[in-house]
Structure 1
Amino acid sequence: MKIREAKIDDIKQIQIVRNAVTENTLSNPDLVTDEDCKEFITVRGKGWVCEINNQIVGFSVVDLRENNVWALFLKPEFEKKGIGKQLHDVMIDWYFKQTKNNIWLGTSPNTRAEIFYRKAGWIEIGIHENNEIKFEMTYTSWINIMLN
């Protein structure tokens, strides 16, 4: 297993992972284009992938412009193996090396993602678009999590 920075050449496999999820699915897969992915991993922020046997099984992307987690997804068969936590931690660590601004994300309630983010130390701060839970992480909270 290898975690590395995402490249433009990874976008096709990233899209396969994104469309393989069983929770937080896209109502229309065309809503997130290859161009969107390219912009987020090269202009707006950065992305990471997890590769196993030259196959991308998960990815994460952070957006510095909007100070949010744009994506963190795994193929369902690779869940509960610690991959999501590794992708999360490298992404959030990188984010707070770029800025001390709070970071936020939205996720559907009553999902594994909601449980995952709560366990990772995210604090619920309200409701976001489409009745998603809005979570936030501060720089201070992240440093404390990393020290413990």
Structure 2
Amino acid sequence: MKKRLIINYRMIFREATIQDIKQIQLVRNSVKENTLSDPNLVPDRDVEDYILNRGKGWVCEINSEIVGFSIVDLKENNIWALFLAPEFERQGIGRKLHDMMLDWYFSQTNINVWLGTSPNTRAEQFYKKAGWKIIGTH
């Protein structure tokens, strides 16, 4: 019989702060899909603008380390970011961040929200499973 390693840790979900930006960037640059060709394309000041002025962000922390985050943009009515460190995928973290983000968004406005992701990816499947509909391709 194979032994199974069971990891027991406490996930903390909370609003993102400026102090989280360095760890948010580490998560963003660790992903295997939707990678940035140049990490400088998303500077810290952009993340700060989105979480303080344009909308709001959330993080999931485990042992004081951010393992996932989401950010929604109220000005353009879109999901700006939802990313997890690869080793923390498929544990419900993305769905929880997604739901927190949309709950807040729709408490602020009733305007439809949109997002973009690459076709034929796990991200596309995630959003379809969450109830998103494809309305076009770009």
> 5+ unaligned residues in a row in structure 1: which ranges?
129-148
> Which structure features the higher share of helix residues?
1
Q: Secondary structure at the match of 2:136?
A: strand
* Alignment pair present for 1:114 and 2:129: no
- Please give the root-mean-square deviation of Cα atoms over the aligned residues, in Å: 0.4
Greater Rg, structure 1 or structure 2?
2
2:38 to 6, 9, 28: 28
SS at match of 1:48: strand
- Specify the code of the residue in structure 2 equivalent to 1:119: K
2:24 aligns with 14
Identity %: 70
Structure 2 residue runs without a partner (length 5+)? 1-10
The whole-number CA distance in structure 2 between the counterparts of 1:10 and 1:47 is 10
Q: Does 1:79 align with 2:92?
A: no
The aligned counterpart of 1:46 is 56
4+ runs deviating over 2 angstroms: none
Q: 1 or 2 for the larger relative contact order (CA 8 Å, sep ≥6)?
A: 2
TM-score using structure 2 length: 0.92
TM-score scaled by structure 1?
0.86
Q: 1:57 and 2:67 equivalent? A: yes
Rounded Cα–Cα distance in structure 1 between residues aligned with 2:90 and 2:131: 18
Q: How many residues align?
A: 128
